[in-house]
């Protein structure tokens, strides 16, 4: 589902990745971890084409990203749900509209949009707050809205960037349960985190990044 082959990435003279390769199979739930600044976010950005590799090839859901034309990028992104570290919720839109935006972009019928958004709001237990604006929600609630927005179109790949950062342990556990449920429904999930408690004891594959390389792979 996701394949990195000899990928290198540089920012000016700074090396972020040097010749890294790994494969994530369809339906896997994988953690990417490492210290701050190691390139976890950059790795996710490479997958949803917000960054391009300087060397090597990346293949996502059958798309060779190196050969992807600018005009095709939106269609790749529609197959990838992203939970952004900085949320990226639109403050002037309600919870409902923020989630519905993903489906509007995909030109879905308004009736179907309502059904899908209502369903996902029910799953994240925020249906009663659908008319509120993001700034009227707590951090955990905002995080759940971001997850809802990422999964509402039922993407084949879900990327999450520090999804439990700044959240208490109960909220973190609830959010991780959401990811496991999504993964159980067949989505490939890749979670970038520096929070060891998330992957330790999870029994899931974990990719450890350090010094521009994959340091090791473990089963948590």
Partner 1 sequence: MRTLVYSLQTAFKSLWHEKWINFLTILSIGTSLLILSAFVGVTLNADSVLKRWAKSFGLVVYLDNTLNRKAEDRLKDFFQQDPDVLEVKYISKDRAIRELHEILGTNASILEELEGNPLPSSFELRLRRELLKPEIVKRKAGEIKQINGVEDVQYGEKWLSSLNTLSKAMKIIAAFLGCAIFTAVIFISYNTIKIFFFARRHEIETLKLLGATRSFIRLPFLIEGLFIGIFGGIISCLALFGVQSLIVYKGADILPSIRAIIVSLPVQAYILVPLAGAFMSLIGSFIAVGKIKY
Q: Does 70 help bind partner 1 (rule: CB under 8 A)?
A: yes
Chain residues 144-203 in contact with partner 1, contact rule CB under 8 A: 149
Angstrom CA distances, 219 to 31, 133, 140, 183, 196, stand at 10, 39, 28, 17, 12
Quick check: 42 and 51 in contact, CB under 8 A?
yes
The least CB distance from residue 107 to partner 1, in Å, is: 5
Q: Binding residues for partner 1, how many (CB under 8 A)?
A: 25
Q: Does 102 help bind partner 1 (rule: CB under 8 A)?
A: yes
Half-sphere exposure for 103 (CA within 13 Å, toward CB): 23
Q: Of the two residues 107 and 170, which places its CB atom closer to partner 1 in the complex?
A: 107
85: which DSSP letter?
A: T
Per-position DSSP letters for 98-141, written without gaps between them: HHHHHHHHTT--HHHHHHHHHHHHHHTT-GGGTTS-GGGS-HHH
Stretch that binds partner 1, among 104-112, 118-126, 160-168, 172-180 (CB under 8 A): 104-112
Angle between the N-to-C axes of helices 95-105 and 139-151, in degrees from 0 to 180, rounded to the nearest 10: 20
Q: Does 105 help bind partner 1 (rule: CB under 8 A)?
A: yes
What is the 3 state secondary structure string of 144-191?
Answer: HHHHHHHHCCCCCEEEEECCCCCCCHHHHHHHHHHHHHHHHCCCEEEE
The least CB distance from residue 204 to partner 1, in Å, is: 26
The least CB distance from residue 132 to partner 1, in Å, is: 18
The least CB distance from residue 63 to partner 1, in Å, is: 13
Largest CA distance in the chain: 51
Chain residues 43-62 in contact with partner 1, contact rule CB under 8 A: 48-50
Stretch that binds partner 1, among 8-16, 68-76, 185-193, 206-214 (CB under 8 A): 68-76
Q: Does 78 help bind partner 1 (rule: CB under 8 A)?
A: yes
Interacting residues of 109 by C-beta distance below 8 A, sequence separation 6+: none
- Residue choice 1, 73, 137, 174 for contact with partner 1 (CB under 8 A): 73
Q: Does 90 help bind partner 1 (rule: CB under 8 A)?
A: yes
Q: Does 71 help bind partner 1 (rule: CB under 8 A)?
A: yes
Stretch that binds partner 1, among 9-17, 19-27, 59-67, 106-114 (CB under 8 A): 106-114
* Chain residues that interact with partner 1, rule: CB under 8 A: 48-50, 70-71, 73-78, 82, 84, 88, 90, 101-102, 104-110, 149
């Amino acid at each position: 589902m996701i394949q990195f082959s000899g990928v290198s990435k540089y920012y000016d003279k700074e090396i972020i990745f040097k010749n890294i390769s790994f494969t994530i199979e369809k339906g896997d739930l994988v953690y990417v971890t490492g210290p701050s600044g190691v390139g976890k976010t950059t790795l996710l950005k490479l997958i949803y084409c917000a960054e391009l590799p300087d060397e090597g090839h990346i293949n996502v859901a059958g798309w060779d990203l190196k050969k992807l034309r600018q005009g095709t990028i939106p269609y790749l992104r529609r197959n990838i749900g992203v939970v952004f570290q900085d949320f990226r919720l639109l403050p002037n839109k309600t919870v409902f509209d923020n989630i519905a935006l993903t489906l509007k972009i995909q030109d879905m019928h308004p009736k179907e949009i309502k059904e899908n958004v209502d369903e996902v709001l029910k799953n994240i237990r925020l249906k009663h707050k659908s008319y509120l604006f993001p700034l009227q929600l707590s951090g955990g609630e905002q995080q759940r809205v971001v997850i809802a927005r990422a999964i509402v179109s039922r993407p084949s790949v879900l990327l999450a960037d520090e999804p439990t950062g700044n959240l208490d342990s109960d909220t973190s556990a609830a959010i991780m349960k959401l990811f496991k449920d999504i993964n159980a429904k067949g989505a490939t999930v890749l979670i970038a985190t520096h929070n060891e408690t998330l992957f330790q004891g999870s029994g899931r594959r974990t990719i450890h990044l350090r010094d521009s390389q994959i340091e090791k792979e473990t089963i948590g």
